[in-house]
């Protein structure tokens, strides 16, 4: 507590606002530090010690009604390897602490050892449900450092692929959210539709996931012949399926009972915790980088930003369902307006020569070899580029020292930051609702742990 007082004192001088004034109305609870906070600030060693001392603690502090329970890391509803340490009072969750790091493989360290061209293969493995967004954020950051403009066709291909990826990611959410809440058949339906989108990705990029398709300078390959028919087929097939989802879930009294009023957050709290994406929009705060800080060509397409009202699990579900529809609107516009031209920038510095030229020209061969072994050099500096991924603001921060590899690459994973809202969403709710809450935040652990 003394630390708080010290900080308050330093700021109240020289005309800067006092810290108390910066707690926006309605968000007081997220600022708490002590035992009344929703976050269980206890290390693993302390929890283990508590288990040993349990009988004594119960007598001394009269907390005998509270139990500390471990959930995960391999629990079916924790979406991978999320572990939660929960403090329970009967069946009611009090404080809790997400424990992460089980998938930590040092991808940011690895990135310092890969060239800018290889970097996309690394970041694409972070958020494995929406890999194209990580590639896009990385490529935008590198292009910002290089100060190159990419051709219109590449921009529109990127935009269309990303919106299709948003659809597949939200369809995956529909599947897992249904499964977590007992609508088990939903899992099959969500997966079925997602598979159709992934089939199109396979046709374009060669892979269902981890595409390495969006690269600094453009995209890896032009769209294949017959892509319009495939996209058109998707756009005709998915809307009736979404109607089915509405019948299965949205209008169902059981579904509503399970989600409405569960895991409530308000805008001030969401902003204070740094939450973005559907978690922030469910509170009624209309913020979408596609509209508010347009990148690619989002300022040339028509779409709506879907917001909620109550900030509960139902709003987060409904937002994602309707974002699939908005994404389809954007994909339709991409289909109609796809410009002709090159799919990557013809800048000798970053683009390898076309395959055919390598057979004829020694210089082209050397050039190809240089780019793929040594990599291209990127001017010194530091940049941050952000995109709106299905989970929120996905940003890439790169420090370059002028060499062919990033000096430092950091990914702002929206799942990682959104996970901070979990203890506050679960506080004073039932343990069974905790499952609904975890599901509705939709964390992808690959991105949390990196």
Stretch that binds other proteins, among 6-14, 65-73, 206-214, 347-355 (CB under 8 A): 6-14
- How far apart CA 402 and CA 407 sit, in angstroms, is 9
Residue 187 binds other proteins, judged by CB under 8 A: no
Residue 275 binds other proteins, judged by CB under 8 A: yes
DSSP-derived secondary structure for 376-431 = ----SEEEEEEEEETTEEEEEEEEE-SSSS-SEEEEE-HHHHHGGGHHHHHTTSBH
Q: Which of 26, 35, 44, 237 binds other proteins (CB under 8 A)?
A: 44
- How far apart CA 102 and CA 81 sit, in angstroms, is 6
- How far apart CA 291 and CA 304 sit, in angstroms, is 9
> By rule CB under 8 A, what string of x and - marks binding of each residue 408-447 to other proteins?
x-x-x---xx-xx---------------------------
Please identify which residue in the block is written with the tokens 């979990």.
Answer: 422
CA 144 to chain centre: 21
In Å, what is the CA distance from 229 to each residue of 178, 226, 235?
31, 6, 10
Q: Smaller CB distance to other proteins: residue 13 or 62?
A: 13
Residue 199 binds other proteins, judged by CB under 8 A: no
Please identify which residue in the block is written with the tokens 């579904």.
Answer: 255
Contact call for residues 140 and 159 (beta carbons, < 8 A)? no
Which stretch of DSSP H or E encloses residue 241? Answer: helix 227-245
Q: Smaller CB distance to other proteins: residue 125 or 211?
A: 125
DSSP class of residue 250 equals I
Stretch that binds other proteins, among 81-89, 197-205, 238-246, 402-410 (CB under 8 A): 402-410
Contact call for residues 334 and 301 (beta carbons, < 8 A)? yes
Q: Which of 100, 117, 132, 338 binds other proteins (CB under 8 A)?
A: 100
- How far apart CA 376 and CA 403 sit, in angstroms, is 8
Contact call for residues 82 and 71 (beta carbons, < 8 A)? no
Classify 184 as helix, strand or coil: helix
Residue 387 binds other proteins, judged by CB under 8 A: no
Provide the minimum distance between the beta carbon of 63 and other proteins in the complex, in angstroms, as a whole number.
19
Residue 7 binds other proteins, judged by CB under 8 A: yes
Residue 21 binds other proteins, judged by CB under 8 A: yes
Q: Smaller CB distance to other proteins: residue 263 or 395?
A: 395
Q: Smaller CB distance to other proteins: residue 23 or 58?
A: 23
Q: Which of 41, 192, 233, 370 binds other proteins (CB under 8 A)?
A: 41
Provide the minimum distance between the beta carbon of 33 and other proteins in the complex, in angstroms, as a whole number.
5
Contact call for residues 69 and 86 (beta carbons, < 8 A)? yes
The site for other proteins (CB under 8 A) is made up of: 3-4, 6-8, 10-11, 13-19, 21-22, 24, 30-31, 33, 37, 39, 41, 43-45, 100-101, 104, 106, 108-110, 113, 144, 147, 271-276, 287, 292-293, 380-384, 386, 393, 395, 397, 399, 401-402, 407-408, 410, 412, 416-417, 419-420, 449-450
């Amino acid at each position: 507590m003394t630390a708080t007082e010290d900080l308050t004192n330093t700021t109240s001088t020289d005309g800067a606002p006092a810290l108390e004034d910066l707690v926006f109305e309605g968000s007081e609870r997220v600022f708490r530090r002590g035992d009344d906070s929703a976050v269980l600030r206890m290390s693993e060693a302390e929890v283990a010690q508590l288990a040993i001392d349990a009988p004594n603690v119960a007598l001394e502090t009269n907390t005998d009604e509270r139990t500390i329970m471990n959930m995960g890391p391999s629990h079916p509803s924790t979406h991978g390897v999320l572990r939660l340490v929960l403090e329970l009072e009967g069946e009611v969750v009090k404080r809790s602490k997400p424990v992460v790091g089980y998938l930590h493989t040092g991808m940011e360290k690895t990135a310092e050892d890969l060239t800018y061209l290889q970097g996309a293969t690394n970041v694409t493995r972070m958020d494995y449900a929406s890999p194209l967004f990580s590639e896009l954020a990385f490529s935008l950051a590198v292009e910002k450092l290089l100060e190159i403009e990419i051709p219109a066709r590449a921009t529109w291909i990127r935009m269309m692929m990303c919106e299709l990826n948003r659809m597949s990611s939200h369809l995956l959410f529909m599947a897992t959210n249904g499964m977590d809440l007992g609508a088990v058949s939903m899992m099959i339906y969500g997966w079925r539709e997602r598979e159709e989108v992934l089939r199109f990705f396979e046709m374009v990029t060669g892979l269902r996931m981890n595409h390495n398709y969006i690269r600094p300078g453009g995209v890896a390959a032009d769209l294949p012949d017959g892509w319009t028919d495939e996209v058109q087929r998707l756009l005709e097939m998915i809307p009736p399926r979404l109607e089915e989802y509405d019948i299965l879930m949205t209008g169902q009294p059981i579904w509503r009972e399970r989600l409405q009023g569960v895991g409530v957050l308000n805008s001030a709290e969401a902003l204070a915790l740094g939450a973005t994406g559907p978690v922030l929009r469910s509170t009624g705060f209309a913020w979408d980088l596609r509209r508010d800080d347009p990148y690619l060509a989002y300022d040339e397409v028509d779409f709506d930003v879907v917001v909620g009202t109550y900030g509960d699990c139902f709003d987060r579900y409904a937002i994602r369902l309707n974002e699939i529809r908005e994404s389809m609107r954007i994909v339709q516009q991409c289909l109609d307006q796809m410009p002709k031209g090159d799919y990557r920038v013809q800048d000798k510095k970053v683009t390898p020569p076309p395959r055919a030229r390598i057979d004829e020209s020694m210089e082209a061969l050397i050039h190809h070899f240089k780019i793929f072994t040594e990599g291209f050099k990127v001017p010194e500096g530091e940049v941050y580029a952000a995109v709106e991924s299905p989970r929120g603001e996905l940003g890439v921060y790169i420090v370059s020292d002028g060499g062919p590899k990033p000096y430092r690459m950091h990914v702002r994973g929206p799942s990682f930051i959104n996970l901070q809202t979990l203890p506050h969403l679960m506080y004073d709710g039932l343990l069974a609702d905790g499952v609904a809450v975890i599901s509705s935040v939709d964390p992808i652990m690959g991105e949390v742990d990196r």
